[in-house]
Structures are given as C-alpha cells and as structure tokens.
Chains A and B, each alone.
Chain A
Amino acid sequence: MRRWSGWLLALVILALAGALQITLNDYYQRVLAVIAINIILAVSLNLTNGFTGDFSLGHAAFMAIGAYTSAVLTLPVRTKAVVLPELPRWLGQLEVPFVLALAFGALLAALVALLVGTPVLRLRGHYLSVATLGLMVIVQVVALNWQPITRGARGINGLPPFTTLLWAYGLMVLTVAVIWRLVNSPFGRDMIAVREDELAAACRGVRVFRTRLLAFVISAAFASVAGGLWAHLITAITPASFSFLLTFNVVAMVVIGGMGSISGSIAGAVLLSVLPELLRRVETSLALGGQPLYGLSQVVIALLMLAVMIFRPGGLFGRSELPDLLTRLRRPSAAPLANPRTSSSS
C-alpha cells in the first residue's frame, strides 16, 4: 500500500498546483513558488548536511550557477543581442527550452561540485564548510567580473517568467522523490553509515570518499535547479543575489526541520518561507526612529537556530520521517525502535 501512497501524494500536489496556478493571485502564487523552491533547496542540502554529515555551505554558489546558466541559455535571441551583446556568437544565437537549460545548469553545478569535492572530501573534519563558502565567493567574483556573460554587477534582468506553480511543484516533487529513494537505498545506508562513523564504515567496505562525493554532487545539481527556477520567478539576477544570506537560510531550514529527516526539511522550508513574509510586515510597521527594522526576520531566524541547537538539537523531526511518526502514533511501542528507513517505500 505504501508503494502507491507516494505516487498518489505526488499526483495530488501536482493537481493542486495546477488548480492554484489558475485561481490564485500573483502574490500568493509567488509565495507558494518560493516555498517549493526552498523545499528543493532544503531537501537537497539535507543530503550532505543531514544524511552524510558533511556540512556544505555551497548552496548559494550552486544556485548562482543554475540561475546564470539558465538565464544565458533561455534568454530570447533578440533580447540577448541587446542585453548581452558581447556574448560569444554561438551562445548569442542559442535559445534553449527551460527544462534543458535547467538540466544543463544542474550538470554544470555537478561538475563544479566534483571539482571542489575531490580535494576537500578526502579530508576529515569540516573543511568542506569553508571550501564551499570560498566557492560562493569565487562564484560571486566570477559573476561580477565576467562581463560578456553575466553583465557584471548590473546583473541580467528581463528573464522570461517561466517558473509557474506547476514547474516549481513538479520539480519539487521530482527532487523529493529522487532524494527519498536515494536515501532509502544502499547509497543512503552508506551515507548514514559514513555520518555515524566514517572509519567504521570504511572498515565495513564502504567507499567513503565516493559516497561523500556522490551526496555532494547530487545536492549541488538540485540546488542549481532551484537557482534556475528562482531566476525565472524573480526574472532578474545579480551577483549580490547569491550571498551568504541565502545559504544561511537554507541551512536554517535543514537545522530547524531536523538534520537527516526529509519531512523535517520540508517543514523547515515551509516555516522559514512563511515566517519572513509575516515578519516583513512587522519590520516595516515596527519602525525604530523612523527606520524600518530591516534584518529583524534574519535575527529571529538566527535566534531560533541558537535555541534549537541548545534545547532541541534534533530539530522539529529529529531523524524521523512523517510516515514513520504516523505509524508510531497508531501503534505506540515501548522499545526505542530505529527508523524503518530502509523498508524501500517510495
């Protein structure tokens, strides 16, 4: 029965997204699309940070790669001639469908992740965190300086608004499905084993480096897709869009939701997408000395994260998934059972 429930859920989500796309006003559509994008970001980051135990801070960088790739590839040829006149000829005359552009961005991000991951993931400790933040700086610098492709600090605007609710939720469902299946497969078991005890995993034959690299590369690819979606939702991108703030918020979603729980990441993403929308009103109305309180929602998120680390280090969900929690509610048992993680449900 559970094998069908996943498909059913996906169908319901897509039907809802399609219906809301027709009926809802622009503001709410945008909020909903942002939620879907944030879910993609959080769930994919969770693959490294939660399941494998490598703390990546590279999501802004990979989003930027996806956003710029998709922007340059999908911009109509005539617009390109005006906006990006210095583009190499072949690129200037290329106009690629949205999906292909997203796929290509994902590939590129995966490649970059491979390049960064190869030296760093062989090392123990949290070098990946610094290296990925470094990657963010590198990507920002390249976006600022590679004028012919990126238009530097001015950024690229006037992107086609491809990101509808159906696209956003379609790709969100795809992301969650792929990562859910990956986590509940031999690959996922290897990842969790590496997180629990890297050395012991190696002594049981797990190819530790390869496992860590796989998680990092997949995670980067999905972040890139989210970046592409985001670019075509906002329709304007600049290097400054892809700052530490972005990464930090995704990290907060994963941490608050519960590292190592996909349901948790989804909950965290929804929570932290809605919270700033609510707080934005407070920011502007609770003006201090005539100044709006910009930064308030970020301060709240940071405090929330500090509180989680001290009082509930597992986050909202710990490492449990919603289906398991529901089963446990129905059949409470005394012994501390492990998550039935590998029951191959899809």
Chain B
Amino acid sequence: MSTVPPSAPLLYVTQLSKAFRGVQALHEYALSLQPYTLLGVIGPNGAGKTTLFNILTGVVTPDRGRIVFDGRDLTGAAPDAICRAGIARTFQNIRLFRRMSVLDNVKVALQARQSSHFFTAVLRPPRFYAQERMLSERAMALLATLGLDAHTNLQADALPYGLQRRLEIAMALATEPKLLLLDEPAAGMNPTEADALMHLIVHLRDALKLTIILIEHNMRVVMGICERVQVLNYGQLIAEGTPEEVQNDLRVLQAYLGANTR
C-alpha cells in the first residue's frame, strides 16, 4: 500500500513495563513504528493492550521504559502535553463530555491547538467571533467526515452507542494527531457497522497521512487492514510481524485457544 521509504521511526518505545499490585500488566514492551503504518495490537482480555495506550498517553506512568515520539522523549509527560505533541486516542469504555453537545465535544478537542486570550473572550473584538465561527466550521467538517453531521446539537450521551464511538474518533482527530490510538473502536457494533468503520479508518489514514495503532479483538478485522500486527498475552509481547506471519505463529494460536476467546 504505502511505499514510504524506511526513515526514522515516528514512535520508538523500549522496555515499557507496568505492574498493578503484583499484576504485571505490561512487561518489557518494545515498538519501533514507522510513519503511516497501521499497526494492529491483539491479545486476549487483560493482556495489557489498554494499559499500553494508557502509558503512551500519559494516563498511567510506567514503572520502567522510554517513549520517544517524533524525536521527543515523552516518558512521564502529562496527558495534555502528549496530546499536543501529536498522540491522540479513543477510550475502550467511551469517555465523552456527556452533558455537552456533540459539536462542543469536538470544539474542546479542536481548541487545544488554538491560543485563547482571556481579554479576547471577555471583550469580544471581531476577532473572537471570527475564531469561534472558524472553530464551528472545522468541527462541522470533521463531524461530517465521521457521519455525525445530523446530530451536532444533540447532547453527547443521547447519541446511539455506535455513534458515540465515532464521536470519540472525531474528537481524537480534532486534536490533529500524527499518531492515532484506537482502543477497540468497533466494540459493540454489528459486523456491517464494524466493516464500515474499518473502511473509514483506512480511508482516514490515507487522507490524513496518519499513523495508527489499532486494538481490536476481532482477528479477521485486524488481519484485513493492518500492515503489521503485535500480539500481547499476560503483558508479554509474544509475536510480531505481518498478519500472515502472526496468524501462523504457534504461540499466538495457543494464547487464543488457551484463553478461549472468540
């Protein structure tokens, strides 16, 4: 698909480890991710996939390890700084600003890159209204891309479940990321919805020149769209490679059959 020549990795992670009260949620995780890759991360429940995202986005501090993104060391940085550095995520258990409108949800994410001044907000020179209008237009455009433009004034928690997941993606995109982390974005969707979403993800990657890490339970989906796949089990990276390589890995089969997942 993409024929980008090998260059410096966009994300370079070494020896990432995290334990919660003795549970080793992630152990010595490593990754070197080239720009514009779509990497799938799979593994049974509790394998440490979400923990990986939590560490990458500063939500959880790792016990050990280093995160270098786009040439900057982001180890231990705060979530908002990481977001502004260009890593955005969605949450497996949806986290929207529930009592704000769909439009305002996106605006919050958009305005993180805009400088606002107290006196502009209070005195309201014409510039203020221009900025607000621009923000609305960009938010509307993004919502349209994700097929949410019919619901902009709805309160976020009034959206149907599948659309809430799409809103999460819209908000992540609104922060203008270079790297997008999607945590089971198709969970709870029926196969048709899930397929549509996966097409959209591939389309977004190409259109916005994104690098994406996708956590997904469904092997078939991951195998269909990802260039590279990593498999986690009990916090350990047990396999890594192209979908074909991973599919035929004995340890992966064991992990999946042993855990008896789908």
A and B touch in the complex (CB under 8 A): yes
A interface residues, Cβ below 8 angstroms from B: 178, 181-182, 185-187, 189-190, 192-193, 196-197, 199-208, 214, 319, 335-342, 344, 346
A167 to chain B, nearest CB (A): 20
B154 touches A335 (CB 8 A): yes
- Of all chain B residues, the one with the shortest Cβ separation from A202 is B79
Decide: A196 and B97 in contact? CB cutoff 8 A.
Answer: yes
How many pairs, one residue from A and one from B, have CB atoms within 8 Å of each other in the complex? 122
Checking B91, B103, B118, B153 against A187 with a beta-carbon cut-off of 8 angstroms, the contacting residue is B118
Interface status of B111 (Cβ within 8 A of chain A)? yes
For B113, list chain A residues within 8 Å (CB). Answer: 205
The answer to whether B132 and A204 touch across the interface, beta carbons within 8 angstroms, is no
Contact with A along B88-116 (1 / 0, CB 8 A): 11010001111111111001110111101
Interface centre among A206, A335, A336, A337 (most CB of B within 10 A): A206
Contacts of B108 in A (CB 8 A): 189-190, 193, 201, 204, 206
Are A337 and B153 in touch, CB under 8 angstroms? yes
Known contacts being A181-B124, A186-B121, A200-B96, is A338 close to B153, with CB within 8 Å? yes
- B112: contacting residue among A206, A341, A342, A346, CB under 8 A: A206
Q: Please measure, in the bound complex, the distance between the C-alpha atom of A186 and the C-alpha atom of B99, giving whole angstroms.
A: 16
A205–B116 Cα distance when bound, in Å, is 13
B132 touches A344 (CB 8 A): yes
Known contacts A189-B108, A338-B156; 10 additional CB pairs below 8 A are A189-B104, A193-B97, A197-B95, A200-B95, A204-B109, A204-B112, A214-B118, A338-B100, A342-B104, A344-B132
Q: In the bound complex, do residue A196 and residue B122 qualify as a contact, i.e. CB atoms below 8 Å apart?
A: no
Q: For A193, list chain B residues within 8 Å (CB).
A: 97, 100, 108
User: Which residues on the A side are within 8 Å of B153 (C-beta)?
Assistant: 337-338, 340
User: Does the CB pair B121–A338 fall under 8 Å?
Assistant: no
In the complex, which range does the number of interface residues on chain B fall in? 35 or more
Q: A196 contacts B99, CB within 8 Å?
A: yes
Docked-complex contact A337 and B154, CB < 8 angstroms: yes
B125-159 interface with A by 8 A CB criterion: 128-129, 132, 135, 153-156, 158
Interface membership of B175, Cβ < 8 A: yes
Q: CA of A336 to CA of B124 in the docked complex: distance in angstroms? A: 30
Which 7 A-B residue pairings sit nearest by Cβ, starting from the closest?
Answer: A205-B112, A338-B101, A185-B121, A202-B79, A200-B95, A196-B97, A338-B155
> In the complex, A187→B109 CA distance in Å?
12
Instruction: Determine the distance from Cα of A187 to Cα of B158 in the docked complex, in whole angstroms.
Output: 24
Tell me which of B59, B108, B113, B118 has the highest count of chain A C-beta atoms within 10 A of its own C-beta. B108
The answer to whether B124 touches A204, judged by C-beta atoms less than 8 angstroms apart, is no
Distance of A51 Cα from B59 Cα, bound (Å): 24
A contact residues around B116 at 8 Å (CB): 185-187
What is the CB-to-nearest-CB distance from A181 to chain B, in angstroms, rounded to a whole number?
A: 5
**Closest CB in chain A relative to B77 CB, distance in Å:** 11
Chain A residues with Cβ below 8 Å from B158 are: 335-336
**In the docked arrangement, what's the CA distance between A201 and B112, Å?**
10
User: How far does the Cβ of A270 sit from chain B's closest Cβ, in whole Å?
Assistant: 25
**Interface pair B129/A186, CB less than 8 Å apart:** no
- Set of chain B residues within 8 Å of A201, measured between Cβ atoms: 97, 108
* Cα distance, A178 to B118, chains bound together (Å): 10
Given contacts A201-B97, A335-B154, A344-B132, contact A181 B83 (CB under 8 A): no
Contact residues in A for B129 (Cβ distance below 8 Å)? 344
- Chain A: minimal CB distance from B5 (Å): 31
Instruction: Point out the residues of chain A lying under 8 angstroms from B122, CB to CB.
Output: 178, 181-182, 185
Q: How far apart sit A101 and B118, CA to CA, in the bound complex (Å)?
A: 23
Q: Is B42 an interface residue (CB 8 A)?
A: no
B26 at the interface (CB under 8 A from A): no
**Min C-beta distance of B63 to chain A, whole Å:** 20
Known: A178-B122, A200-B91. A208 touches B80 (CB 8 A): yes
Check if B121 sits within 8 Å of A189, measured CB to CB.
no
A197 near B97 with CB under 8 A, answer yes
Residues on A with C-beta less than 8 A from B58 are 202
Alpha-carbon distance A340/B100, docked complex (angstroms): 9
